[in-house]
Chain A
Amino acid sequence: MKSSSVQKALSSGARIGAIELANCPGVSINTPALLISTRKGLPYFTPPDLLPSLPSPDSHLLQVSPLHFLEGISPATIGKIGGIHKLIGLGDYGVVAVPRDNVHSLPECKGASKLGASFETPCGRLLIKPKDYVEMISCMRPNIWATLADEVPAWVTDKRNRTSVDRTLRWLDDCLALNPAVGSVFGAIVGGTNLDERKRCAEEVAKRNVAGYWIGGFGLGEAIDERPALLRAIVDVLQDEKPRMICGLGLPEEILQGIAAGVDLFDSSYIYTLTLGGFALTFSLDKNGNQDNFKLSQRGSDSTKINLRATEYRLDMSPIVDGCSCHTCQNYTKAYINHLYNVHEMLAQTLLEIHNAHHYLRFFRVIREAIQDGRFEEYRLTFTNSRREHYGRVAVC
């Protein structure tokens, strides 16, 4: 079954492509793309009937952690219902299954053993063996699934890092041997902050029969400046025509860094964190990346976002972003969302998640256009520099 394909890269590093979903022929999702983070298959706060209000088909890739279902519903029942798409009532969406969700399911290297990967979750620490994981995948039938990884933070010893690569490769082979015959397999790549281990892992994964790559081990304590070299070491040995997904890069600059290195798919746990804190994305979606026109009048804000809990929005009857076409900005004001946060009403997060997801999906659209037009590097520099200048101004004031 064909569930994904990637076009050839257009410029050095950054590239555009497309993912095609077997369950909805004719629809292709252009990359670089943002996956919508979910809890038990549905976005954290956006109800399924409002999901279609997000940019389409950009928003049609969902990232689902099979581990979320370990409480409350058995893999067999998910299978009986007809798989993950039927379970969540979103038949024409693409589901990408990844154990680590960056919010509620985090890698815990101390708990991992040769038997399986370990995660810290709301139902405690879980040890997930390849066999159990593949069984979950077989029942869920996602479009794409990443293999198990033994992710370690940046500060572990070289020995532990080597072990993590060995285990991750062995589990990849275990997963492939168990062959659930569903979806496209993305082989997990780890290696921490060690260039040689990253390269070794990527080379080994590239030899396997995988449809794409899942790059783990980022966002776990490494310095932001270390990443370009690490990503280059990985991407250099991967096949160009296969998609690359990464976990742990969230901020706009991090996304741009990943895309510059040739990464195609990103998770959106950043949106979750923002929404929970009452932050709304407001940075400019200018096609050249220019951030200079951002008005810095608001307290509790930087040049990318504002905090809607701030009292200055109490009487603000304007939308979060003037001209934003999202469901929230078309219907609700900052004053109302500020009130909802004040009185701890759930709708606050619902409205904010819709705007933030919409805004970030649009950001990806702007990036794709820049790559298409061959001016991505220019875009990235303008975006990053005008943001940095901005911080400079803030520091002076």
Chain B
Amino acid sequence: MALRFEILGKFKRARASRLTLPHFVCQTPLFMPVGTQGTIKGLTTSQLEDIGCQIILGNTYHLALRPTSELLDQLGGLHKFMNWPRAMLTDSGGFQMVSLLHLADITEKGVTFQSPVDGKPMLLTPEDSIQIQNRIGADIIMALDDVIKTTVTGPRVEEAMYRTLRWIDRCIAAHKRPHDQNLFGIVQGGLDPMLRDVCVKGLVERNLPGYAIGGLSGGEDKNSFWRVVAQCTAALPEDKPRYVMGVGYPLDIVVCSALGADMYDCVYPTRTARFGTALVPEGVLKLKNRDMADDTRPIDPTCLCMVCKNYTRAYIHCLVTKDAMGSQLLSYHNLYYMMQLSRNLHSSIVEERFPKFVCDFLHQMFPKGDVPEWVCNAMEVAGIDISSCCAPLSSCQEYDSKNVSEEFIHCGRTDSNIGGHDRCSGEM
């Protein structure tokens, strides 16, 4: 085990902790930006430090193709290669293959896929995945799991869960650097509470440094989503970090943190930036919108980032989608927003004002009190009273997009027009 996890504060199920990794001492809850190819969308590592990023994610599949894990190993690991002094996490590569390649097939041996280089069939076994991740050298590495779509039902879900458990032993056995790198196991089991339970128990028996909740953020409905998170966080050990994979909407992060999760990753903040969308306390701001052309306010007047301190919406409108600088500046702001959200979650829990933070957050995002029902349900389980920010008559109602101005579109709804976000689907 190459980490230390100390809980600094708690409110009911929510916790704020100090997570000490080989390369950085992190504060949770935390959001991890995705740097698929050893870089995060035009930002330098000094900028990522300025923004406050603590852990960044690398995608094993992409890095194994280019520049290759052998090269990274030879040159001293990914940290040195990309000049990132802080913590790093790599995924197993399995999900990328299943989601990006049509001909991926999972057998007991591993994931078979067609090589994007020469089209030949290739096999990624749990042992291969760990060996590649050992070479890349991230602080946290992920076990290879049997990934299925969240929408899959029936015996395949059960098979995938048991296979994930069998593979974790192969991953543990293959892991050559347990004193430098932390292997996290991934809880699978679809939306079936029984299967999730078996998987959690099986993984906890292995006494891993940390656990991830996988198989979510793939288009399941929000009620199923939060219930799986709530079930897993309740069953996972208190003294180990819990990572919900692929979660990236600010609202989802607040809900999951209230339920006791600690870590998140998603391409959403940087991907949405490239489409001209900024994350703001009210939801999102579409900078491509014509109204922005003469709006002289900053993106978010309450934001202290370099972009909001210096630029108007009108200027960003003029840059977005046409010029590289536009998406760089928007990515900068969006990541700053996510880091600020992480910091606020941490400090509000430590300073024992977490419920107030949650209410303020929901009030800004849903000024009319139309907090989605699933959020109300999840908060009830989390033991947080949010009645003050829900509409007076019907305390919780389904949000109605006709009631809000065009300018803001709330995120976190599965049927919103923001578009789906895939679990670590890679930022291309």
Please determine whether A340 and B306 come into contact, CB atoms closer than 8 angstroms: no
Q: How far apart are A266's CB and chain B's nearest CB, in angstroms?
A: 23
B223 within 8 A of A: no
Q: How far apart are B130's CB and chain A's nearest CB, in angstroms?
A: 23
User: With the chains together, A327 CA to B309 CA distance in Å?
Assistant: 23
A133 within 8 A of B: no
- Measured as residues with beta carbon below 8 angstroms from the partner, the interface class of chain A is 35 or more
A315 within 8 A of B: yes
Q: Secondary structure of the B side of the interface? A: helix
Please determine whether B315 and A80 come into contact, CB atoms closer than 8 angstroms: no
B41 within 8 A of A: yes
Interface flags for B288-322 (1: CB within 8 Å of A; 0: not) read 00000110100000000010011110110111001
The residues in B between 40 and 62 inclusive whose CB is less than 8 angstroms from any CB of A are 41-47, 50, 62
Known: A315-B71, A343-B66. A48 touches B310 (CB 8 A): yes
Interface flags for A82-117 (1: CB within 8 Å of B; 0: not) read 000001110000000000000000000000000000
- Measured as residues with beta carbon below 8 angstroms from the partner, the interface class of chain B is 35 or more
Please determine whether A49 and B306 come into contact, CB atoms closer than 8 angstroms: yes
Q: How far apart are A291's CB and chain B's nearest CB, in angstroms?
A: 30
Known: A47-B332, A80-B294. A73 touches B314 (CB 8 A): yes
Residues of B within 8 A of A350 (CB): 42, 44, 328
Please determine whether B75 and A335 come into contact, CB atoms closer than 8 angstroms: yes
Q: How far apart are B329's CB and chain A's nearest CB, in angstroms?
A: 7
Nearest CB in chain B to that of A38: its residue: B325
B405 within 8 A of A: no
Q: How far apart are B372's CB and chain A's nearest CB, in angstroms?
A: 35
Please determine whether B293 and A44 come into contact, CB atoms closer than 8 angstroms: no
Please determine whether B317 and A351 come into contact, CB atoms closer than 8 angstroms: no
Known: A77-B293, A89-B310, A331-B46. A346 touches B41 (CB 8 A): yes
Nearest CB in chain B to that of A46: its residue: B325
B82 within 8 A of A: yes
A332 within 8 A of B: yes
A170 within 8 A of B: no
Residues of A within 8 A of B332 (CB): 47
Interface flags for B1-37 (1: CB within 8 Å of A; 0: not) read 0000000000000000000000000000000000001
Interface flags for A228-251 (1: CB within 8 Å of B; 0: not) read 000000000000000000000000
Query: A40 contacts which of B74, B75, B81, B318 (Cβ < 8 Å)?
Result: B318
Interface flags for A330-349 (1: CB within 8 Å of B; 0: not) read 01110110011011011101
Residues of A within 8 A of B419 (CB): none
Residues of A within 8 A of B71 (CB): 314-315, 335
Known: A40-B319, A69-B318, A89-B310. A47 touches B329 (CB 8 A): yes
User: With the chains together, A327 CA to B42 CA distance in Å?
Assistant: 15
Please determine whether A49 and B50 come into contact, CB atoms closer than 8 angstroms: yes
Interface flags for A310-325 (1: CB within 8 Å of B; 0: not) read 0000110100000000
User: With the chains together, A264 CA to B309 CA distance in Å?
Assistant: 34
Chain B CB within 10 Å, residue with most, of A88, A331, A339, A345: A339
Binding site for B on A (CB under 8 A): 39-40, 42, 44-45, 47-50, 69, 71-74, 76-77, 80-81, 87-89, 122, 314-315, 317, 327, 331-333, 335-336, 339-340, 342-343, 345-347, 349-351
Q: Across chains A and B, which 5 residue pairs bring their CB atoms closest together, nearest first?
A: A89-B310, A72-B318, A346-B42, A73-B318, A343-B37
Between-chain CB contacts (< 8 Å), 7 pairs: A40-B318, A47-B42, A81-B315, A89-B310, A332-B83, A333-B81, A347-B42
Apart from A44-B325, A73-B314, A345-B42: 8 A-B pairs, beta carbons within 8 A? A40-B319, A80-B294, A80-B296, A81-B296, A122-B322, A327-B44, A331-B44, A336-B81
